[in-house]
Amino acid sequence: MSSFLTSAGVAALVAGALIAPPASAADDPAVPPAAPRRASSTAPAPTDQFIVKFKDPAAGVPAERARAYGRAAAKLGAAVKDVRATSSGARVLRTDKTLGADDAAKLLASLRADPAVAYAEPDALLQAKAADPNDTYFQFQWNLSEQPGGMRVTRAWDVTRGSGQVVAVVDTGITSHIDLNANVLPGYDMIADPDNSRDGDGRDPSPADEGDWTDIGQCAPGTPVMDSSWHGTHVAGIIAAVAGNSEGIAGIAPQAKILPVRVLGPCGGRTSDIADAIVWASGAPVAGVPDNANPARVINLSLGGTSPQCSPAFQDAINTATGRGAVVVTAAGNESQPAASSSPGNCQNVINVAASGPSGALAPYSNFGSAVDVTAPGGDMTPLPGGSADSGVPGGILSTLNDGPTTAGPEAYYFAQGTSAAAPHVSAAAALLMAQMGPGATPAAVEARLKSAARPVPGGCPPGCGAGLADAAAAVLHITMVVASGDLSGDGKADVLARDNGGVLWLYQGNGRGGWLGRVKAGSGWNGMTSIVGPGDMNGDGRNDVLATDGSGALWLYPGNGRGGWLGRIQAGNGWNAMTAIAGPGDMDGDGRNDVLARDTSGVLWLYPGNGRGGWLARVKAGSGWNAMTAVVGPGDMNGDRKNDVLARDTSGVLWLYPGNGRGGWLARVQAGIGWNTMTTITGRGDFNGDARNDVLAVDTAGALWLYKGSGTGGWLGRVQAGSGWN
C-alpha cells in the first residue's frame, strides 16, 4: 500500500520561495475585522414575530395599536397579539401563525403605510458569525472558500467546528508541528516488521513519523531515490490544524482531535498492519496492543494499491469499524482510471473520494467512476499556460509538513495534490457533521448527508464524480426538501416538507398560487433519516403519506392524518441503505397504486410496485446506468399524457424527461433543460400554481427557491422565485 499524494518540489512557504507572508495585518484579508459581520439583508423570511414603533408615543396606546395591527393582519387572515415593549419604546407583536416570506412582506408593507408608524421590521433570528481566522496563510486555502472548487468551510464554521470528534489518520505517522500539536492525541505505531518501521522495534506506542525516504532500488528493482514525504503530517493538517493562532493554516475541523496511527514505512505498508490499525482506531481490541483510549468517529485512509477487488482483510476491518459507529473515508487513487481498481476504496461501507482542482473540475490525475462516492478538493498543480514550472503550485492543497529530506527537520508548509488530500477534506466534513448531529449519528446517516448536500461538478463529470462536490456548509446547514404532489394539509393545495439542520420537519402550506401560507412544525428528530420522499397515498386510506429511510437502512411509512401530521409509523422494508436515490411515490405501472423508484450503488433503477396496503410487490428492474444522474425526480405526469414520468439531471447539468409508458418503463427520453447543475436541490411534480399542470421546485447555490411552471407538454412556461434562504 502506498500514499496518494504528490508534493510540490519547492521550498517551504516560510522561506518565501513561492509567496511572501503578508506585510502586515492591514494587508492580510484573512485578519478578522474589528466589528462582527452583520446580516447582509433584512428581507423578510418566514416568521411570526415583528417589531413596530409609532411616531407619536401617544399613538402607541392599546386601542391605536389594535387598530393598526388589525388593519394589517385582516388582509392576511391572521390574528395579531401585542407581546411587549422594547427598551426603545417599540412594540413586539406576534401573529397566530407563521407567515411565509410573501405574506410577511405584505404585513410589513401594510404597517409601514400607516402614517402613525415610524418603522416596522421582522423580529429576525440572527446567529453568531465566525470571522475568517487570522492564520498566516489562510488566504491561500482556496479549498476552504466559496470559490467554485472550494468546500465552503467557513460558512459551516458558523454551526460547528468539530468539537469533541476524534479523526484517526492511518498513515506515515506524524511529526511535531506548532499548527498541529495542540490537536494531536496519543496514537500508535502499527508497523509490525522492524525492518520497515525504521525505529527498529516493530509495533510501539509512538506514532512519530520516522521518515519514508528510500535509496535507489530499495523497494523494487529500479525504484528511484525518494525524500521523505511526511504524508501523515500533511493529511492531519488538512483535517485539524489549529485555527486562529496566527500561524500557518486552518484545519477544516479545527476543534477536532487527530489520532495518528502509523502504518506506512519506506516502501509502503502491509494490508495486515493497515487492517489492524482500522480496527484499533475504532476502539476494538487488537491482540498484543493496548486498547485505544480515544476511539475515532472518523478514520481517514489516504492510501491504497491497485486491486480489482477489495481485500477481505480490509472489508472485515472496515465492517468492524463502521459497526462501532466510525465513518471510514478512503482515497480513490491517482491513476486516472476507474476507482473500482483501487483498494481499499473499492470496499463496501466506505466513503470513497475523488479529487478536484480550484475550478471544481475533476483533477487530471484522479480516479473516477461508479466506485466514487463524492469528490473533494485535492488540488491541481498543472503549470499555467505560458507559465513557469511552478506557476500552478498554488492550485495545490496547502498544509502542514516537515522540511527534513530524510529524518525530521524544521516544520514547514507545502502545497500538494492527490486524492490523499481530497479524502481528509471529507473526513473533516464528517467530523463537522458528527459534532452537529450528536452521538447517535451513524456512518450511513453521515454519508447520506454528505452526498445529498453535494453540489454538481462545474461543467459536469462524464467519467463519474459520485454525488458531486462535497459542500461542508450545505451539509451542516442542510434543508432536505420533500415535495408534495398531493395535499398534506387537507386544503387541496400542494405543499412542501422541509427538514432543517436541527432535524425539525416543517410543512410549508401552499397557497395554490406558487407561494406559501406559512409553515407548521410537522415533527422533530428527523435528522436521523437519510432520505425522505413523498407524499403519496401508500396504504389506500385516501390520505397522503411519507416514506423515510433511517441510518440502518430501515424504510418507514409515516401514514398521513390528512391534517399535516402523522399516524403511527410502520416499517415498510429494510436494506434500503444500498440505495443512492429514492423517488416517489407515484403510479408507474398503471395499476392505480403508488410505487417507488430506487437506484442502487451499481446504477440500476428499480421499480418497487406498491400493494396499496403500505407494502410492496416484487421489484422490477426499470433501467441501468442511472449512476450517471445526479438527481432523480418524480414520478409525475409532466407531458399531459396521463402517465407518470421521471425527470433526471446528468453530470453535465442537462435535465432529461423520461416519459412513462404506463407499464413501469419508459418511452424515448427528451431533453427538458440545460444548466441545471447550478441547482443544489431539484424536487417536484406537484401543481403549485393552481393551473392543473405539474411544476418543479429547485434551490440554487445562493439559496433561492425557484418554481418552474410546467407547460403540461414536458417543458416550462418560465420560472418565478418562490423563496430565499433555502440553503
- Which residues are the active-site residues? 171, 231, 420
Contact 303, 2 (CB under 8 A): yes
632 vs 614: CA distance, rounded Å: 22
Q: Strand 705-710 relative to strand 374-377: parallel, antiparallel, unpaired?
A: unpaired
- Using the structure block, give the residue that is written with the C-alpha cell 529500479: 222
Cα radius of gyration (the chain): 27
CA distance 558 to 63: 47
Do 442 and 324 touch, CB atoms closer than 8 A? no
CA pair distance 258, 167, nearest whole angstrom: 5
CA distance 508 to 516: 6
Instruction: Please give the Cα distance from 8 to 594 (Å, whole number).
Output: 56
Beta carbons within 10 angstroms of residue 514's beta carbon: 19
150-153's contacts with Cβ under 8 Å and 24+ in sequence apart are 150/377, 151/252, 151/376, 151/377, 151/425, 151/429, 151/469, 151/470, 151/471, 151/472, 152/471, 152/472, 152/473, 152/474, 153/252, 153/472, 153/473
Partnered with residue 529 across adjacent β-strands are 550
Distance CA 224, CA 221 (A): 9
Name the DSSP letter for residue 666.
Answer: B
CA–CA separation, 269 and 455 (whole Å):
35
Q: Are strands 695-700 and 679-686 parallel, antiparallel or unpaired?
A: antiparallel
Where helices occur in 140-230 by DSSP H, the ranges are 153-156, 194-197
